[in-house]
Structure 1
Amino acid sequence: MSVNITFAPLSRLLTAVCAATLLAPASSIPAQALEAKWCKDAHIRFFVGGAQGDAFATIVYNGAKQAEADLGPKVDYLFSSWNVEVMTQQLREAVAVKPDGIAMMGHPGDAAIMPLAEQAAKAGIKMIYQNVPIPKVVAAFGGGYIGARQDEQGRALGAEAIKRAGLTAGDRAIVFGSFENENRGARERSTVAVLKEAGLEVIQISDPPTGEWASDPNLAIPVITAALVNNPDVKAVGYSGGQMLGNVPTYMQAAGKQPKEIFNFGFDTSPQVVEAFKGGWVQLAADQQPFQQGYLPILNLCQQIVLGLAPINVDTGAGFVTPENYHVVAKLAEQGLR
């Protein structure tokens, strides 16, 4: 089907638009947008992702709770301990309940979420995804994405680590990640790719798919200690999340290392990560603003449900936290906001 469009002179169009704007009565603005708690009649299910109290999930939860307080929807919060099988089952149950909207973590990936997204679309449930993008699902059934761009952020972190640590061809590094997960693992796979492109030898260690290292980072102590003992010439270690990055002092001390002896880098900030920067244990973190990943999905679902607006896509990646600037985010991190 072809569509013929006739363009009017710009001056005439501007005159018409301005006149329509000036003459439009205030009543033409949706009343809900002018009211406090304008989303109070909406029911939303929100996936926090981690376990209650874990460093990253707490900030996501705080953002979501702030949006709930500001906008007024009824929100059910789901904690999954970063276990993709649990998330998938919880999504199945959420679709069956038929809320007005669902804010879903993308960790299970396109293949696992696709059939459930189809069911949600048929039921008229508005969807938005956070933290891990699932482009195939969004292309098929719609929905927005709030979070960092996994591939881009992973490559940027690898390049920054090389520069700041002075890594050169032949150096060895360890990188932790969910490498087998098609969607979630894209970030760390990209970091590894950049390091290898620079000629580094990279030892990849896979995070457990059940998410226990994120829920309790102390469980990774034996693995990290063994890796460092078996590879005494390692110059840098990359971590897949703020839970492990914040636990770096424990890992390094267990392996008999001193502050700054190894260049430790990874993703996210938290009170623990800030303390690790202060102590000289952590040298670089990529910030993805999890508070935004809590607040914006609920805001946009309300906009879709109540106002009929479209899904939004927001890259929450905010650059790097370093020994030179960590104090800028320190207070926000201590408050559970960043």
Structure 2
Amino acid sequence: MSALRTLLLASALSFVSVGLAATGAMAQSGSIDRAVSGYSFEDAAKEAPGTRDFHSNDGVLTFAIVTHTAGNGFFDPVYVGALSAANMIGAKVLLLGSESPTDDPAREIEILNQIIQDPTLDGLIMTTPQVGAYDDIVKAAMDKGLPVATTNSYDGSILNRNAISHTGQDAGAAAIAGEALVQCLQERGVTGGTILLPNDTAMGNIEVNRRVTAAYEAIVAGLAKAGTLGNFKVDAGPESVGVSADMNDPVNSIISLIESRGDVVGAFAGNNVFTPALAKAVAQTGNSGKMCAYGFDLGPAQQEALRSGDLTGALGQQPFLQGFWPVMQLYLQIDRGIAAANLDTRAQLVTGETVGSVGKRFEN
């Protein structure tokens, strides 16, 4: 009996061994290492020999990223993303931008006109908040043979638009905040009042204007669907791009709007200027936790306001990607000839309950 058990055990082990060997063989049977036309994938995945000597011919790729406001913290994770991508591909990236804490396209353009003359430059990344103001920069880059990528704000009419990649959030994503605002009102049992969407179109930022319009339309649609639109006054100004407010004194502008209406139950702000101001206005008028207040971006001020209840929610636009992908796009354009590969970074709605998970890796 013992001999029989030994024989059966040996047979079983032999079967398992053969089965494993067969399984291993089958797992490898679909392996592919060459293209249909015969070239090696390993060789094809390597960087082109002349990539590091593109344009400046100095053995290193140098890109510049220029933003329209580096003074309020929003673009910090954008710069982190750009540097992360540059480190991955062994490139150099110059982190530049207006020192102003508010939108300053004029200063950005001044920096762009300076950096475009740098003989070590191999590619340019820029934000384009002021429509029609960047054609000369693009033309100068094209004349020098420098590839361009835009990020964050979008100018659909920019010179050579269809050949230039863009990374950023479609303004229509602001509808997510509009829908959330309506849901907030419904959950709190609010049956009427004024909803404000403050903005200053004098900033010349068409992207912000479009956000306000998208949020406004979503609020109106949501209230209409609920059959309560007639009970509310949704004020985004006569052109649906925002009720007029002063970017140089945003807090007091919003406080004046709230106090003059007397029945404000909700509000949406479309950028990093008016969102922290909205939070302060909510706090100073005693509306923390009462008003359904939504905003844009997830900088330190917004995160603190979400924690305190001065903001109900805010939309993040994945700014890390807005630095990371343009650098990779320029590299791919130089090394692979891949151009105009756009990336929509969409929107992430963050509330007081979820704010703790934001910003742990500088991705706010």
User: What TM-score do you get using the length of structure 2 for normalisation?
Assistant: 0.72
Query: Which residue type is aligned with residue 212 of structure 2?
Result: E
Paired position in structure 2 for 1:104: 126
Instruction: Report the Cα offset of residue 127 of structure 1.
Output: 0.8
Paired position in structure 2 for 1:147: 168
- List aligned pairs for 1:327-338, cutoff 5 A: 327-329=356-358, 331-332=359-360, 335-338=361-364
User: What TM-score do you get using the length of structure 1 for normalisation?
Assistant: 0.77
Paired position in structure 1 for 2:320: 291
Instruction: Report the Cα offset of residue 140 of structure 1.
Output: 4.4
- Evaluate the alpha carbon distance shift between residue 18 and residue 265 of structure 1 in structure 2; reply closer, same or farther with a 3 A threshold: same
CA RMSD, 1 decimal: 3.3
Work out whether 1:30 is the aligned partner of 2:46.
yes
Instruction: Report the Cα offset of residue 57 of structure 1.
Output: 1.8
The secondary structure found in structure 2 opposite 1:56 is: coil
Aligned identity (percent) is 19
Q: Distance in 2 between matches of 1:25 and 1:282?
A: 51
Work out whether 1:201 is the aligned partner of 2:255.
no
- Evaluate the alpha carbon distance shift between residue 336 and residue 221 of structure 1 in structure 2; reply closer, same or farther with a 3 A threshold: same
Q: Provide Cα deviations, 1:312-333, integer angstroms capped at 9, x if missing partner.
A: 211111331124433332x52x
Q: Distance in 1 between matches of 2:42 and 2:33?
A: 16
Paired position in structure 2 for 1:223: 253
Paired position in structure 2 for 1:46: 65
Does the 8 A contact of 1:30 with 1:307 survive in 2? no
Moved more, 257-266 or 136-145: 136-145
Does the 8 A contact of 2:33 with 2:40 survive in 1? no
The secondary structure found in structure 1 opposite 2:145 is: coil
Q: Distance in 2 between matches of 1:143 and 1:246?
A: 33
Does the 8 A contact of 2:126 with 2:149 survive in 1? yes
Match for 1:76 among 88, 94, 113? 94
Paired position in structure 2 for 1:281: 310
Q: Distance in 2 between matches of 1:277 and 1:266?
A: 10
The secondary structure found in structure 1 opposite 2:268 is: strand
Gap runs ≥5 in structure 1: 1-15, 214-218
The secondary structure found in structure 1 opposite 2:94 is: strand
Paired position in structure 1 for 2:210: 186
Instruction: Report the Cα offset of residue 274 of structure 1.
Output: 2.5
Q: Distance in 2 between matches of 1:269 and 1:170?
A: 29
- List aligned pairs for 1:237-256, cutoff 5 A: 237-242=267-272, 244-246=274-276, 248-255=278-285
Rg (Cα) greater in structure = 2
Q: Distance in 1 between matches of 2:208 and 2:299?
A: 20
Q: Distance in 1 between matches of 2:59 and 2:340?
A: 19
Q: Distance in 2 between matches of 1:131 and 1:115?
A: 19
Paired position in structure 1 for 2:178: 158
Instruction: Report the Cα offset of residue 278 of structure 1.
Output: 2.0
Q: Distance in 1 between matches of 2:343 and 2:270?
A: 21
Work out whether 1:128 is the aligned partner of 2:161.
no
Does the 8 A contact of 2:193 with 2:265 survive in 1? yes
Aligned residue pairs, count: 306
Q: Distance in 2 between matches of 1:249 and 1:183?
A: 21
Comparing both chains, which one has the higher relative contact order based on Cα–Cα distances under 8 Å and sequence gaps of 6 or more?
Answer: 1
Gap runs ≥5 in structure 2: 1-31, 224-228, 237-241
Paired position in structure 2 for 1:326: 355
Instruction: Report the Cα offset of residue 126 of structure 1.
Output: 0.6
The secondary structure found in structure 2 opposite 1:41 is: coil
